[in-house]
Amino acid sequence: MKYKIKLVIIIVLQILTIGCDQFLDVKPNKNLVVPATLDDCQALMDNKVLIEKGLGSGEVWSDDYFLTDANYLSLAENFRTMYRWDRSFIYEGAFNDWKTTYDQIYLCNLVLETLGKIDAKENEKMFYNDVLGQALFHRAHYYFQAVILWGAAYHPNNSKSELGISLRSNLDGDEKTVRASVEECYTYILNDLIRALDVLPETSISPVRPTRYAVASLLGRVYLSMGAFDKARQYIEIALDHNASLMNFNSMNSNLANSFKQFNVEVIFESRGVYPAMLTAKKANVAKELIDLYDQKDLRLKLYYAYISAGQYTFKGSYEGNATFFNGISTNENYLNMAECLARAGTLDLAIDHIINLWKNRMSDFNVDQARSDLKAMNQHTLITMILLERRKELPFRGLRWMDLKRLAALGEISTMSRLVEGQVYELKTDSRHMLLPIPENIIKLTGIKQN
């Protein structure tokens, strides 16, 4: 049995690396694929070489870091292009989020198609539903990350006319490639998650397997990105009612090279971001604008960042427990998602409660009464602005900043971003077109879909 499962994984790896070079421009040979049992499908869902590689392009385009000229010049040309916010041939090397996306979509569809052929026995139905829910969750998670990169920001007034990404629900390589509307993309993502919510268990053997509460948390994130704050609140509440744990940063050692352990109490779903080398501590310096947001009582400053020299900090606060980037779902995000939803609904006292609960575990010498008084003195707009700044301070390098920049740009709440490279200023306008990453040129040539 173990030999057969290993063979399944090897064959799928060969398809993804050779026979399925882009998925949307190559027709995979399904006859080579041999998963046939629930154990086969679970093995594919558990293999982290194959599944849940968080997309990094949004972090590259975001504003939480900068490169020195020396580090910039050490990069391959496609990464220099990305850093300058140029739009041509940014996926020329091994780093290719488009390929990563559709490799994972292929894998999820492979598992879902296999499950459709399995007649589960009564004693296998819980196992069957668990694997089904995992595949639906992963597919939705990838499609959501992809639409944030390549689809227009969601707005109910134009979501049916704006372009999203290509949606695939099967392994048919002959199916014509088209870009679905933004509305169709979000409907598809939400439908997958609602189905997953109905079948996934409440607990799992490890955070690498999604649970019902991981689904609820992701539903909250998706609805937040859509500006559907009432819906987001509904699902975040489900997740927080189950797990509202927070680490107390007062009891943590800021002198460690990596401040946090993997699978800590805040982790609801474990996923690792596959980010290019330009974002590692050896290359990327944390933006001064971000560092300046923390005051001296904020323990996150020393737990999240390593001081190098004047004006230079590097990131060390990954929930992976090492130098790689956490791209999953955690309770601290849910606190901030809930606080924003409550504040936008005008329920300011409850929003303040969530911020206070977070701050109690993030600040030294924290005065609850003074903090509450300061927050209650804010009007709704000021409180929302503060919560958005808290998101940036609490969730850096998580794969979330580009989502926030994009949704806030659509609301007119941010303006042009800029970078200084070799003495020249480069700007990224925050209008709708410039907040869309370019689709790889070979995909445009082979499929004829419209470029961003």
Where is pLDDT greater, at 326 or 32? Answer: 326
Is 330's pLDDT higher than 90?
yes
Mean pLDDT in residue range 205-215: 97
Where is pLDDT greater, at 17 or 385? Answer: 385
Question: pLDDT by residue (tens digit) across 366-403?
Answer: 999 999 999 999 999 999 999 999 999 999 999 999 99
Name the residue among 224, 146, 142 with its Cα closest to residue 395: 224
Distance CA 244, CA 151 (A): 32
Mean pLDDT in residue range 5-13: 49
- The model's confidence at residue 29, banded by pLDDT at 50, 70 and 90, is very low
φ/ψ region of 365 (left if φ > 0, alpha if ψ in -120 to 50, else beta) reads left
Question: pLDDT by residue (tens digit) across 396-452?
Answer: 999 999 999 999 888 888 878 999 999 999 999 888 778 999 999 999 999 999 999
- The model's confidence at residue 30, banded by pLDDT at 50, 70 and 90, is very low
How big is the chain by its Cα radius of gyration, in Å? 22
Answer yes or no: are the C-beta atoms of 163 and 149 closer than 8 Å: no
Instruction: Tell me the pLDDT of the chain averaged across its residues.
Output: 91
- Hey, what long-range contacts does 424-429 have (CB within 8 A, 24 or more apart)? 426/84, 426/85, 427/85, 428/61, 428/85
Bridge-based pairing of strands 53-55 and 272-274 is parallel
Quote the tokens at residue 228.
Answer: 């559907």
- The model's confidence at residue 154, banded by pLDDT at 50, 70 and 90, is very high
Name the residue among 217, 214, 263, 247 with its Cα closest to residue 357: 247
Is 279's pLDDT higher than 90?
yes
- The model's confidence at residue 7, banded by pLDDT at 50, 70 and 90, is very low
- The model's confidence at residue 48, banded by pLDDT at 50, 70 and 90, is confident
pLDDT of 210: 97
Is 285's pLDDT higher than 90?
yes
Mean pLDDT in residue range 191-218: 97
